[in-house]
Structure 1
Amino acid sequence: MTGSPHGGPDALGVPLHDFSTNANACGPCPIALAAVRAADASRYPDPDYTALREALGAWHGVAPDCIVPAASASEFIHRITAWAVRQRAAGVVLPAHAYGDYAQAAAAWGLPVLPVLPASAVFPEAPPPWVLHWACEPSSPLGTSDPALETWRAEEASGSGADRALRVVDCAYAPLRLAPAGAGRHGPALPVNAWQLWTPNKALGLTGVRGAYAIAPEHARPADIAALRSLAPSWPVGAHGVAMLAAWVDPAVQDWLAGSLATLRGWKAHLREACEAMAWAVHPGSQANYLVARPPVAHLAQRLRDLRAQGIKLRDCASFGLPGRVRLGVLPPASVAALQSAWKA
C-alpha cells in the first residue's frame, strides 16, 4: 500500500483522517505543546538530565538513578538489545503480535528469535540473563494484556525466573488504556523484575516530538544501569523532548489526559458500532485507544490504497502477523463518518 506501514504521513502527505496511528486524538495536550514551544533550543540540555530524572523518578516513586532517558522507544529498543548481546544473551522472545522494532533490533545484532520458553529452560553456555524477553502493556495491535506479564508476576511470587531473562515491558499505550485500570495513575501493577519503557508522546498527542525513558527494575545493578547509559550517544534527548517529558509529570497535564480518556471511550464505542455496521469483524478485548477489525474483502491492500486516495488511512495488520485485518486508532465521529462514506462508495 502507499506509504509506510507504520502509519502517519506518507508520500501522499498528511491523511485527512489518519486511523493508522495510535496518538491521542484529543491532542495535542495544550500545556505540553506550550512547554515544547517554549523550549530553549539555543542550548544543549544538561547531559546528565539531572532535573528531568529527578522529576520522573519522583513521579514513579523510584530513585533518579533508576531513570534512563532515551531518544525514543525505538532507540532504547536497539540500545538494550545491544546490551543483551554484550551480556551473551542466547536469543530474544517476542510477543505474538507486536511492534516490528523488537525483531528488527534483534536481527541487526544477530540475536535469534526464540519461542516462549518453559520455566525449566536454561542455557548453560551463557551467563544470565539467558534471553531478552519483551512484553507490552497493553499490546499492539490488539490492545489486550500481554500473557507474559502474568507469568512474570507468578515467577516474582515464587522467587524464580529473575535470572533467566532480561525482561522489558513496553508501556507506550499504558497511559491510553481506556478500560478500568484498577491500580492507580500508572495503570495495572507491572512486574518489579522488569524494565519499563515509557513514551508519553502518544498519550500527549505529540508523536512528532521524540523522547522516552526507561525505569530500571528493583534488582538492577547500578553497573548495568550505567552500562545502558554509556551505550547512548551524547544528549540522546534534545531540548524539545526534555520539555515534553518534564511536562508529562505536571498534574495539570495528567488532568488533561484523564479528561481525554473519557472522550476517547465514547469515540471508541462509536467506532466499534460503525465497524459492525459495515460488517467488519471486530477483534474483542481491546482495552486501549485502538482496535483491530477484519473487513469482508478478498483484496484488502487494494481497498486500503483506494481509501488512502480519498484521504483516509488505516494500518494494515499484515506486518503484525495478522493478514486481512486493519488496526484503527480512535478518531472523532466526523472521521468515522468519512470512513463509512468512503467504504460504501
Structure 2
Amino acid sequence: MVTALHGGPDALGVPCWDFSTNANACGPCPMALSAVRSADPRHYPDPLYTELRASLAAHHGVDPTCIVLAGSASEFISRISAAVAHGGGRRVWLPALAYGDYGRAARAWGLERVLEPEQADLLWLCEPSSPRGCAEAEAARVVEVASTVDGAVVVLDRAYEPLRLSGACSLNAEALDLVWQVWSPNKALAMTGVRGAYAIAPVHGGALADQLNAMAPSWPLGAHAVAMLMAWGRADVQDWLAGCKQQLTVWKAKQVSLLTLQNWHCLSSEANYFCARPPEALDAQALRDQGIKLRETTSLGLAGHWRLSVQPPQAQAALVAALAACSVKQERRI
C-alpha cells in the first residue's frame, strides 16, 4: 500500500496543537458552518449542480460552463492527470518543491516527469506554493512556454490564494486565461473535513472540461460540500475571511519572532504558513506525545525543514514549551 503524507490528524487522532495543516486557524467560518449544518442529507443534490455552478461562476466572473466540480482538489489532480494520459499525454512537469499528490497522480497514470516545461504535456503550478508559501519563480515562463506546445495543459493550484497574507499572484490576467485554476475553499473556511473543490477552465479549455465532467462519478459532491461551496461566494463569508487575514498577519509575525529567538531559520512566505529549519534535529514523536504536530517537508522536496501553519498565541506558547522540554531530554541523554 502506498502511503500518502499529509498534515492533520493521524492514527493517534487530532493533535491538540496542529501546525501541520494549513487550514485557517481563525475558523471555522461561522456562516459556512451554519450552512453545512443546515444542509439536507436526505436527498441527492441536483446531479447537474445548476445553482452551485451559477454561484461559483458569478463569484469568479466566468461562464457556468467553465466550472468543473470535484470531490476535492486531490481528486481533481488525479482526474485531470488521467484525462491527459488518456488523451495521449506522456510527460509531466512539476516545480522542484511541490505538493506530493501531483507526482503521485502522475505516476499512477504513467506520466514521466521531465525537467523542461517544453517537454511536458501536463504542467503544475501552485501559488502561494507548497511548502514555501511564495510565488512560483518560473510561473510566467512556464505558462509562456506551454502556450507554444500543442495540447499542453497547465494547472494552477490556488488552494492557498484565499489565505495569502502579502504579495500577489505572479500571473497576470492574460496568463490566467491560459491555465486551469483549482480552488478548494475548505482550507480558508477551516472546514477541511468537508471535501469539495472546483476548477475553472481556461479560455480554450471547453473540450477538456467536457471530458473531465464525463469522467466524474455521479454526484461528486454531497449535500454538505454543496452547502459549503454555495456559502463560499457570499459577501459576509468573504468579509469574515478578510478579517481573518488581518489576525493571521499579526499571529504570523509573532510566531516567526518566537521561532527566530529559538534559533530557527524561518524562510519568507506570503501565506498563512512558512517553512523553517530548526537548530538541531527534531524528535517529531516526542513533540507528538506532547500534542504538537509539525509537517516535515522532505517529501515536498525541502529536506531539513518543517512547515508550520500560523497558529494563535496559545498554540505558539505550547510549541515553545514542547521544544524546550524536548531539548532538555536530549541534553540529558547526551
Superposition TM-score tier, normalisation by shorter sequence: over 0.9
Q: Which residue of 2 aligns with 1:264?
A: 248
CA contact (8 A) 1:4 1:10 kept: no
CA contact (8 A) 2:39 2:227 kept: yes
Q: Report the Cα distance in structure 2 between the residues aligned to 1:53 and 1:163, rounded to whole angstroms.
A: 29
1:149 aligns with 2:118: no
1:134 aligns with 2:117: no
1:243 aligns with 2:222: no
Matches within 5 A, 1:305-324: 305-324=285-304
Q: Report the Cα distance in structure 2 between the residues aligned to 1:25 and 1:194, rounded to whole angstroms.
A: 30
Q: Report the Cα distance in structure 1 between the residues aligned to 2:312 and 2:306, rounded to whole angstroms.
A: 18
Aligned-pair distance for 1:224? 2.2
CA contact (8 A) 1:181 1:188 kept: no
SS in 1 for 2:25: coil
1:169 aligns with 2:159: no
Correspondent of 1:293 among 264, 276, 279: 276
Q: Report the Cα distance in structure 2 between the residues aligned to 1:169 and 1:59, rounded to whole angstroms.
A: 18
1:82 aligns with 2:82: yes
CA contact (8 A) 1:162 1:193 kept: no
Aligned-pair distance for 1:79? 0.4
Q: Report the Cα distance in structure 1 between the residues aligned to 2:98 and 2:27, rounded to whole angstroms.
A: 24
Structure 2 residues without counterparts, runs of 5 or longer: 326-334
2:256 maps to amino acid: R
What RMSD in Å do the two structures reach over aligned CA positions?
Answer: 1.9
SS in 2 for 1:293: strand
Q: Which residue of 2 aligns with 1:65?
A: 65
How many aligned positions are there? 322
Q: Which residue of 2 aligns with 1:254?
A: 238
Correspondent of 2:313 among 292, 315, 333: 333
Q: Report the Cα distance in structure 2 between the residues aligned to 1:145 and 1:220, rounded to whole angstroms.
A: 24
Moved more, 261-270 or 8-17: 8-17
C-alpha distance after superposition, 1:100-158 (max 9, x if no partner): 1111111111111111335xx5xxxxxxxx510000011011001112322146569xx
Identical columns (%): 54
Distance 1:182 1:91, change over 3 A: closer
CA contact (8 A) 2:19 2:294 kept: yes
Q: Report the Cα distance in structure 2 between the residues aligned to 1:310 and 1:87, rounded to whole angstroms.
A: 49
CA contact (8 A) 2:117 2:145 kept: no
2:189 maps to amino acid: L
CA contact (8 A) 2:143 2:179 kept: no
Correspondent of 2:182 among 197, 200, 215: 197
Q: Report the Cα distance in structure 2 between the residues aligned to 1:109 and 1:296, rounded to whole angstroms.
A: 40
Q: Report the Cα distance in structure 1 between the residues aligned to 2:61 and 2:261, rounded to whole angstroms.
A: 45
2:176 maps to amino acid: P
Q: Report the Cα distance in structure 2 between the residues aligned to 1:331 and 1:4, rounded to whole angstroms.
A: 24
Q: Report the Cα distance in structure 2 between the residues aligned to 1:161 and 1:267, rounded to whole angstroms.
A: 43
CA contact (8 A) 1:304 1:313 kept: yes
Q: Report the Cα distance in structure 2 between the residues aligned to 1:181 and 1:216, rounded to whole angstroms.
A: 21
Q: TM-score, normalised by structure 1?
A: 0.89
Q: Which residue of 2 aligns with 1:342?
A: 322
Segments ≥4 residues shifted beyond 6 Å: none
Q: Report the Cα distance in structure 2 between the residues aligned to 1:22 and 1:182, rounded to whole angstroms.
A: 19
Distance 1:142 1:166, change over 3 A: same
Structure 1 residues without counterparts, runs of 5 or longer: 122-129
Q: Report the Cα distance in structure 2 between the residues aligned to 1:88 and 1:253, rounded to whole angstroms.
A: 42
Q: Report the Cα distance in structure 1 between the residues aligned to 2:317 and 2:70, rounded to whole angstroms.
A: 38
CA contact (8 A) 1:15 1:311 kept: yes
Distance 1:154 1:131, change over 3 A: closer
Matches within 5 A, 1:116-127: 116-118=116-118, 121=119
1:196 maps to amino acid: Q
1:21 maps to amino acid: T
C-alpha distance after superposition, 1:292-327 (max 9, x if no partner): 0000114x3xx1111000000000111112121100
1:262 maps to amino acid: Q
Q: TM-score, normalised by structure 2?
A: 0.92
Aligned-pair distance for 1:5? 3.7
SS in 2 for 1:22: coil
Q: Report the Cα distance in structure 2 between the residues aligned to 1:13 and 1:148, rounded to whole angstroms.
A: 38
Q: Which residue of 1 aligns with 2:208?
A: 224
